[in-house]
Structure 1
Amino acid sequence: MRISLRHNSDRLALLTGRPKLLSVGYSADPSIVARALPRRADDERKNVLLLGGNGFVGMHFLHDLLDDERIEKVYALVRPKGSNSGAARIARQARKYKMALPESDKLVVLEGSYLEPSMGLPEARYEELLSEVDVVIDAAGGTTHEYPYSRYRREKVLPTVTLAEFCLTRRFKTLHVIGSVGSEVYTRLRDFYRPSFFFCGYSKMKYVVKHLSLRMNRDGVPIHVYQAPFALGGPGTRFKDPGMEYSFWNMVWHMVQQGRTYQFGGTNPMVAGDVLTRAVLNNALSQAPRPISYPVTPVTNEQLAERLGLDLVPYKEFRRGLVRTNRFRLGEVKWRNPIASARREWQRASFVRSLFPRCLPELLTSIDTAVRAPAVPLNAGIPAIDVLVENARNIRKIAKDLPALARAEQVATPKKAA
């Protein structure tokens, strides 16, 4: 079975804002191939291939897979880095996020990369994956927004097609791809040409992955996409997440610094990491997985204002004050190294404007509309606003400026990581 993305159709879809132009080629009818392949019965335990198991979300998947009685074996594909083996990288991440992985003989750590032929594995091991795996979870890929679409195309779009082909070889496998609600910002042609942080190459890649997955799913390829929001730390990590690496926390920090947030009738997309992975696994292991899911537990700006002690003001007023406070200042330039210093100061001011573009309420409304339409009940356990506040209290840059009100409200956390 061979699958290919035809004639740069993804680039054409982005240029025109028409996802229907995505074109996929097959060497055979994927629905016929899928029916002919051997597969396990619904009540049999499954073998899972996890990509990106050493990332923040990947660690949650690894924890839940090892703890799930429906799973027989977990193959975790991790790229070695320097002298650190794949297993060592997983152990390091577990310590970083204070996550105790269940003791289990299910785990098989493989050193390789899904970007390489045969995943960079010895032939015998790759053949084992082709013959034994039932479910593939793709939680791999960087989260930085600074690269052009062409790079993300090589690292995510084309590999998604290759993984779909892998899932229709030797044994029937379902492919579950972690997408992003950030791709929902594209609703009109002009959105594909906006210069804001939210309309970057990363978001375009997620947009293509979403529509490519839905296209292949309609053609009979067993691929399913999850439009995930910001994944925050939950009880299992004692409410610790990547922190200021997230644009979400940078936005919250600026709100805290201003002492106010903006009035908005919609919601902000987020979810605790453990809630996200449970939603994905329950869908992946169901008899009829949904083609697309939105595992989101949203928070409103009214909740943010109440818990973080912020004033609510109109968005134009909020943005005007924020831009004025963070404008480029010659006084901040260090004249011993003026060029580099001026560049950093300009980038800082530009980043703030990009993080809070004039169209922010509009794009958040687009995300909110998409999230609510195919809503799926989630077993969140803890209110989303409590998850947000507890994570904020673990981020030093934000916590030092939080008011006493937010600090006084406690959420019970386990003494040991789940």
Structure 2
Amino acid sequence: MFDDYTFTTVANDAHLVSPVVALTGDAPSLLFSRKYADVAALSAGDHELLRPIVDPSTAEQVRSMAPPAAEVALVFGANGFVGAHLVAELSVRPGITTVYAGVRSAGDSSAAERFEETVAQYSITGIDLAKIVVVEAVPTRTNFGLDEDTYLQLRRTVDQVFNSASSTDYDSSYLELRHDWFVSLLRVVQFTLEDRRKHLTYMGSIGAFIYTSPEDFLRPDSWWYSGYCQMKWINGQLLGWLARDGVASVTLVESPYVLGSTTVGKDPGRVYSFWRAIELASSVGAMWDGPGMNYAPVDVLASVLADNALGDDTLPHLVPSNPVPYSNAVLASALGLDLVPWAEFKAIVDRAIPAEKTASLLGSDVNDLIRRSNAPSLMPSSFDGSSWDHDALFALYLSVIQFRDATARRPRLVTA
């Protein structure tokens, strides 16, 4: 798919500007029809406003470059749940010689120490440490926060870039997330266009699928219609244009909820609406009868991303959701809960828990939201879903994770 490129370019047009140039000067090659194209697109619900134009000099340089190779990888967010598993998966691939693990230091912990702690925390064992080089490379910083020599070395040697660095903050607005997570994506795209052609795999979210009608863009922010989901919609639309126009070599991964591995089941726990809904159900002794939320075991996800990026037929779009749908009956059975209609479940929760604590999570149209976000699976042709057994996986997850009793005034840990 990388042999023929049809770039959308521009010679001289004073109306084309880059929002990143205005802020940092880090992504001069990507131009837009207006200064804050992302904000305009979100306000209007119009993805056309996000279509980037690559400047002619960059377009000519990229055309002369060889297609992306598959020997050296750079993973942003490598101390995160997905990032650490992805670094491990890439490190055991025979064709990979080096995996740069981009990690931010914190407090007294160095980048290397944070990565080691994450590997230990999630019991990641399938890993070749000899291939891994931990670097404090952070996409929210100019030159990723690296010194000039290290940055240029990465720019000249990296073949594959995986961006799993992001925020799971559902309370912040898009404008609060914009500088870190939209601007940083443009910075990463610029990096993939310089010195050698690099393939970018970006972790998006199925939360972006919630924005399907003009009315959705006018709704007030909530747990579902959050600044986080808006950011993922913006970034997904941008990458869609880059893929369609041949500006960059990219794969947009619209990921579902990412849960523990199929082996040890260790999970970040309670960071998703997925777990919070189950926590409520466990607290009140009932689960509503509706569609189960799409999810992916983290080790399966890492394998899918590596297979796609390093394979011969790289797809520009992946939806690594469960290939066989399931219903909440699976969860009710695993937890020993009553399965009741949605209206009855909502009434049970309202009697047990103050409505203001659940209003943002349990909207009146929650089943509709879940159906919208449960996009059909889109995987590489090599995908084998035999390990994606709902009953076995939830039995594993529920034997490990701890829930807080949502009905109690004080937090109480309940082991399922």
TM-score range, shorter chain: 0.7 to 0.9
**1:257 — aligned with what?**
283
Structure-2-length-normalised TM-score = 0.84
- CA–CA separation in structure 1 for the residues paired with 2:92 and 2:174: 37
Q: What are structure 2's unaligned runs of at least 5 residues?
A: 1-27, 405-412
Which of the residues 50, 53, 56 maps onto 1:22? 50
**2:359 — aligned with what?**
353
SS class of match (2:251): strand
Paired amino acid for 2:100:
Y
**1:345 — aligned with what?**
none
SS class of match (2:360): helix
Alpha-carbon contact 2:139-2:185 (below 8 Å) kept: no
1:3 matches 2:30: yes
1:169 matches 2:194: yes
Matches within 5 A, 1:261-276: 261-264=287-290, 266-276=291-301
Alpha-carbon contact 2:315-2:380 (below 8 Å) kept: no
**CA distances 1:347-374 after superposition (whole Å, capped 9, x unpaired):** xx42412111111111111112x335x4
The verdict on how the C-alpha distance between 1:46 and 1:314 changes in structure 2, with shifts beyond 3 A counting, is same
The verdict on how the C-alpha distance between 1:2 and 1:208 changes in structure 2, with shifts beyond 3 A counting, is same
Matches within 5 A, 1:358-369: 358-368=364-374
**Structure holding more helix per residue:** 1
Alpha-carbon contact 2:221-2:227 (below 8 Å) kept: no
**CA distances 1:190-239 after superposition (whole Å, capped 9, x unpaired):** 22214431001001001111111101111211121101111111144x11
SS class of match (2:224): helix
- CA–CA separation in structure 2 for the residues paired with 1:224 and 1:113: 20
SS class of match (1:199): coil
Alpha-carbon contact 1:30-1:219 (below 8 Å) kept: no
**1:342 — aligned with what?**
none
Per the TM alignment, residue 288 of structure 1 is displaced from its structure 2 partner at its CA by: 3.3
- CA–CA separation in structure 2 for the residues paired with 1:400 and 1:123: 50
The verdict on how the C-alpha distance between 1:166 and 1:365 changes in structure 2, with shifts beyond 3 A counting, is same
**1:214 — aligned with what?**
240
**CA distances 1:319-345 after superposition (whole Å, capped 9, x unpaired):** 122122212xxxxxxxxxxxxxxxxxx
Alpha-carbon contact 2:76-2:137 (below 8 Å) kept: no
**2:306 — aligned with what?**
281
Paired amino acid for 1:59:
A
Paired amino acid for 1:358:
S
Alpha-carbon contact 2:140-2:183 (below 8 Å) kept: no
**1:303 — aligned with what?**
330
Q: What are structure 1's unaligned runs of at least 5 residues?
A: 328-348, 403-418
Per the TM alignment, residue 29 of structure 1 is displaced from its structure 2 partner at its CA by: 7.6
Per the TM alignment, residue 382 of structure 1 is displaced from its structure 2 partner at its CA by: 4.1
Alpha-carbon contact 1:39-1:134 (below 8 Å) kept: no
The verdict on how the C-alpha distance between 1:79 and 1:101 changes in structure 2, with shifts beyond 3 A counting, is farther
| Deviates further, 119-128 or 92-101 | 92-101
Measured on the aligned residues, the alpha-carbon RMSD in Å equals 2.1
Paired amino acid for 2:55:
S
Per the TM alignment, residue 33 of structure 1 is displaced from its structure 2 partner at its CA by: 3.9
Paired amino acid for 2:267:
D
Matches within 5 A, 1:54-69: 54-69=79-94
- Give the count of matched residue pairs: 374
- CA–CA separation in structure 1 for the residues paired with 2:150 and 2:162: 18
Alpha-carbon contact 2:178-2:231 (below 8 Å) kept: yes
**2:181 — aligned with what?**
156
Which of the residues 344, 364, 367 maps onto 1:317? 344
- CA–CA separation in structure 1 for the residues paired with 2:36 and 2:299: 37
- CA–CA separation in structure 2 for the residues paired with 1:95 and 1:84: 15
- CA–CA separation in structure 2 for the residues paired with 1:401 and 1:239: 14
**CA distances 1:61-120 after superposition (whole Å, capped 9, x unpaired):** 011011111211111111111221111001111222222362432111112322111111
Alpha-carbon contact 1:185-1:363 (below 8 Å) kept: yes
**2:5 — aligned with what?**
none
1:202 matches 2:228: yes
- CA–CA separation in structure 2 for the residues paired with 1:58 and 1:299: 27
Paired amino acid for 2:278:
V
Alpha-carbon contact 2:265-2:396 (below 8 Å) kept: yes
Alpha-carbon contact 2:289-2:327 (below 8 Å) kept: no
SS class of match (2:125): coil
- CA–CA separation in structure 1 for the residues paired with 2:57 and 2:315: 21
The verdict on how the C-alpha distance between 1:30 and 1:219 changes in structure 2, with shifts beyond 3 A counting, is farther
